[in-house]
Structure 1
Amino acid sequence: GAGGAGAAGGGRPVSTPGTRRIGYGDHPAQYAELTRPPGTPRGAAVVVHGGFWKPQYGIEYARPLVPSLVTAGWAVWAIEYRRGTGAADTLADVRAAIDALPDARPEDAGPVVGIGHSAGGHLVTWAAGGGGLTHVVSQAGVLDLRSAYELGLGGGAVEAFLGHPPGPADAAVDPIRQVPLAVPVWCVHGAADDVVPIGQSEAYVAAARSAGAVAELVRVAGDHFAVVDPDSPAWDRTLEILRAIPDEPAAG
């Protein structure tokens, strides 16, 4: 059987049977891993890993969530992307990977939910402004680049990502300055997160709601990594959000 949501826990490397690696470009980092449940999936979960956009953190940080999502009935599209070569490369890759999803699962309908952790929360929320996603779950996301820069998050990660301190010209890549999005956003954040403070999600939700968008702060117990621990109650909250999403995406 598929086992429980925590069946792949225990700190072992996770490999899910039936995962296909599919390239969306020529660079070695331009690929995604597609894992499908038995039967017709509820929809697709686009999983974007974090790591402050740094090259040493890769798709291995997304893989532990895959068995749980597949067990819940989702086709999972876990994406890798270029890191450490500049924001333009990273953002172009995330966009291209999302755009490649319909070709990877052409016969499937249903919602397409972006799920991103930390810097992946930034990337998936940013990407939702360009289409292809019907819902977003940002997990401890870096959603306010100016504040993140001022706080020195990730040891200067924002300045390294952009190539300069964030300024007015960076509004198009800063989620808090992109509101309102046309899709609902849930910001799941650990109250004890000392890597990306929960104020990042609080500020984003306040700005999004003020702009007329649908956004919800989901405060959970735990630290920066509790939200992506498949054995944690914090991860269960993300599964609850996914269960409540209608099977058919809204028209329009």
Structure 2
Amino acid sequence: MFGPAPDATQLEALHHAWADASSPSAKLETGLALAQLGDFTGRAELLDTYSGDIAWLGREEKLRLLDLILATATEYEATDDCLFVLPDNDDGSVYAGSGRVLLARAATVRYVELARVFDEIHDITFEVATDSGFDLSGVEFDLYDEDSTVDAWAGEMTAALADVPATYVFRGAEFTPQIFLDEFLEGVDRAAAGGPVLIRPNAELLATCSGLAHPTIGSTVGPDDVAAFTEYAERLLALPWRAGVKYFYGHDVDGGPGLHR
């Protein structure tokens, strides 16, 4: 959904659906629909649901719920434990919420804590935590340098972000969609040249931030696809992004002006 603010009839219908929802799955679907329209009023209840016993939810629903919570999380919430832990994960590991989705500089503290607890090269939580810290700060953790420590990495991240005033950051600078777009278009070019089609993650992040659905992604990328993706990038860049602001479907998660014209 993208465009002008929804009319009162749309929101009223969704609020009725929210009140009438008889299952957590229905709440999740309705809460997502409301958030896509810029109404985050149901999000607090969804966060409480996620924080409680959700063993009855399927794994995919848990991940969808976590993705929604992360994608709409404000900087104020960025250190909340429940944003980083997936209860009842099948393999017993802790799920570290992605820095690419969260974008909040305050979360670097939590990624450092997770890295300290899971300080093993082959632990998936450790790798997600360090990858996420890199996505926020631009500082990589060298897994294969014996002199590299979590404390040293934490200090380097703090220094890298010291002069960045923004609340929402990516790779050590105030967030804008430009890096995602550059990576996305580079992936499109590689796929068009015969390489693997690895563009979906960036395409989905851009669609989630902007509310503009990306073109269909098939198993191959041809000239028509390149043109469609290029036009999509141009439409995204034409939106009134404000640097250092986090958006969900074109809406500022902190309640400021969105991308809708």
Same fold (TM over 0.5): no
Q: Taking structure 2 as the reference length, what is the TM-score of the superposition? A: 0.32
Structure showing the higher strand proportion among its residues = 1
